[in-house]
Structure formats: C-alpha cells, structure tokens
Amino acid sequence: MTTASVLLTVSTNWGANDLCEKDGIVRKVRNTAEVAARELRESPATKEQALLNMREWIQKNPDIRNVRQDDTFLLRFLRHKKFSVPMAQQTLLKYLNLRKFYSNCMVNLDCQDPNLKEIISSGYIAVSPVRDSLGRRVIVYNMSKFNISKFTCWDMVRAHIVIYETLMEDQTDQIHGFVHVGDGMGSSKTHVTAWNPIDFARLIKWGEQSFPMRHKGFQLFNVPSALKYIIDFAASKVSPKIGERLRLHSTSKTLYKEMDISCLPTKFGGKIPLQEMIDFTHKLLEEKRQVLLDLDDMEILSTRGILSSRNTSSSPEGSVEGSFRKLEID
C-alpha cells in the first residue's frame, strides 16, 4: 500500500512520521518493520520472547528496583543490541548506573525547568519535524546559541539528555536511528574549557555504552580549531564504528552532498525555519514530560551485575566509582 505524497510546507502541524526526500517531497515513513528485520534481526517471535526474558530477569533481579517493563522502554535496549538479551541487560544496568552517577544532569528532566526551557528556546539543540530520506530522526545543533557565560556544561548535558530520552520513547526512532547535524560557528575556547576532561571523556564513552540510541551519522560544519580539538578528543573515546560516522565539513555546501536539505533549518540552507523546529521540540518534550519525570522512580541498588568491558566473564564490578575507574580515562 502506498502513501500519498505531499509537498513540504512550513507549518507547526508536523506529523510524527513525516519523512524528507532529496527532491523536497515529504512522505510517511514506510517499511519500518523491514528495517527492523534487516538491521536488527527483529521479528514478532523474537521480539515476544526477548521481552518475556527481559521482564523475568527484571522481576528476579535484586539489584534494581522499579524498572519499567513496558514494551517501548525494554525495546530500546533490545533493538540497540540486535535482540541479544544478555547484552541488552548489560546496557540497561549501565544506563541505570550512568543516571545514578551523573544524577546532577540525568534526573528530574523537567522540560519546564527554566534553564532547560531557555536553552531549548534559544535553538542550541532542536529536533527536525521531518526525518531524512532513510527515516532517521535529525537533531540539529547551533553552538552560537548556547550562552556559555550563563549556563554550565551540565546545563548543556541536561538539554541533550531531555531530548534524547524523549526521542527514545518513539519506536520508529529506535529502529531508524538518529543523524546529528551541528554548526560550530560561534563556539570558542570557553566552550571547551568549561569541561573537565575526565567528565567529558566518561560521558562520551559511557554514553555510547549506556544510552541505547542508534547514532547513524554526525555531520558537523563551520568547526573552529577550538571546537575541533574537543571533537577529536571525543572521537578517540568512542568505538571505531561511531568514529567512522563522523564527518567534518569546512562549509555547509559539502554537507548537502550527504544530507537531505529539506529536513534542515533555513539557517543551514534547508527548508524549515529554526523556530519551527524549536516549537516542534517543545511540543515533543511536553508530550513526554511526565514519562521522563517518572524515570526517576527506577533505581540501581548494586553494580555487581555489570560486567567488566575487558572481560565479560570476569567478576562483576563492585561499585559505581569502581566501574568508572575501569574506563581508564587518559
């Protein structure tokens, strides 16, 4: 069955499954089940059995408490690990551990918090209301919009996490994944020196290990030398797979060879006014506001079930601090 095409128009009435194509046409996302089967080894039977196994494990695990057991939440981890239940369980434990260790920026994710609301309203980070031609959700970043003299690096992290957590509640996004597009113009050494290198490295490394997002691409342009330093540092802390998906462009023109401009803001040479993206982002956050606040009910009581990344058959790590020390940040 086909879905009728409609011309892209600038409106705040975006649909959750709007999809950009390079010819400027918007269609509905199709074949999501096919993508899940081909890329994630997902089928009705494997999904049902894996969800059953995850729920039984959660219910019997004395080291965690009040962990969500709905399909949407559990499928984050199963899809991220292509339905390897043991690996999904490890990612879930690491996710809970990360939230506990960095509770200053990962709990009480209230989109109505004044600082969060101001950062989102500034346009520093926004969600495109339409996906790219492959069905991937596009997230855009404007470094010049982040007021580093007013907000801290932890405020920046909170803005990222509140959006990432919201998007992970969408099963289409879980399957198709995300493309990040950033304009580095306006960033300075202050944006870099605001970070403690240890914390930055931990967040990058543990973020990849613990946050079940399918990062399909990072497209960055107008990157000054100050910001390039921290990007190179971040790339050294992630897996080769993620590193290979990073593209640096000297101008936005080369970006257009790899991105559908119809899902980019006009500021990036695209079709959608940035304010439209900001409004759409606020709408998404409000819709999932209580869901994100309820995440704080979940607890990890012990990290003994988290296996060392060096040897997954070795003894479990004994503490939150010990787990992070084993990352060997240099």
User: pLDDT tens across 68-107, in order?
Assistant: 999 999 999 999 999 999 999 999 999 999 999 999 999 9
Handedness of CA 282, 70, 75, 296 (dihedral sign): positive
Query: Which CATH number does the domain housing residue 123 bear?
Result: 3.40.525.10
pLDDT for the residue 41: 95
Helix (H) or strand (E) holding 25: strand 25-28
Please state, rounded to an integer, the average pLDDT across all residues of the chain.
84
**Confidence (pLDDT) at 8:** 33
240 or 251, greater pLDDT: 240
Q: Count how many Cα atoms sit within 13 Å of the Cα of residue 151 in the half-sphere of its side chain.
A: 22
| Mean pLDDT value of segment 10-28 | 49
Q: Read off the pLDDT band of 65 (50, 70, 90).
A: very high
Place of tokens 């200053």: 104
Looking at the fold, whether 140 and 215 belong to one and the same domain comes out as yes
Q: Are residues 151 and 173 in the same domain?
A: yes
Residues 125 and 47 in one domain: no
Give the SS3 label for residue 111: coil
What are the angstrom distances between the C-alpha of 262 and each of 206, 267, 268?
Answer: 33, 12, 10
For residue range 159-206, list pLDDT tens digits in order.
Answer: 999 999 999 999 999 999 999 999 988 787 787 778 877 888 888 888
To the question of pTM greater than 0.75 for the whole model, the response is yes
* Percentage, residues of the chain above pLDDT 70: 84
Residues 100 and 138 in one domain: no
Mean pLDDT of the region 51-65: 98
Residue 68 domain-assigned (yes or no): yes
Range of the domain at 173: 114-292
In a shared domain, residues 98 and 125:
no
Both 159 and 217 in one domain: the answer is: yes
Is pLDDT above 80 for 312?
Answer: no
Residue from 72, 33, 32, 75 nearest 50 by CA: 75
Compute CA distances 267 → 99, 151, 260, whole Å.
34, 23, 14
Same domain flag for 72 and 208: no
Q: What is the CA radius of gyration of the chain?
A: 20
What lies within 8 Å, CB to CB, of 93 at 6+ separation is 63, 64, 300, 303, 305, 306
Instruction: Identify whether 27 is part of a domain.
Output: no
Count of the separate structural domains present in the chain = 2
Task: Note whether residue 300 is domain-resident.
Answer: no
Give Cα 115 to chain centroid, integer Å. 20
Helix 71-80 × helix 85-101 angle, to 10° = 110
Q: How far apart are CA 235 and CA 223, in angstroms?
A: 15
Tens of pLDDT along 285-311?
Answer: 999 999 999 999 999 999 999 997 543
Asked if residue 235 and residue 287 are part of one domain, the reply reads yes
Please give the residue that has the higher pLDDT: either 41 or 312: 41
Distance set, CA 175 to CA 41, 171, 263, 330 (Å): 11, 6, 19, 34
What band does 17 get if pLDDT is binned at 50, 70 and 90?
A: low
Average pLDDT over residues 108-132: 97
> What's the pLDDT at 37?
95
List of E strands, 42-142: 64-65, 125-127, 137-142
Mean pLDDT of 114-132: 97
- Tell me the percentage of the chain whose pLDDT exceeds 90: 62
For residue 76, CA distances in Å to 73, 86, 122, 157, 245 come to 6, 14, 29, 20, 21
**Overall average pLDDT of the 43-72 stretch:** 98
pLDDT band at 28 (very low <50, low <70, confident <90, very high): low
**Spatial distance between the Cα atoms of 29 and 17, rounded to a whole number of angstroms:** 6
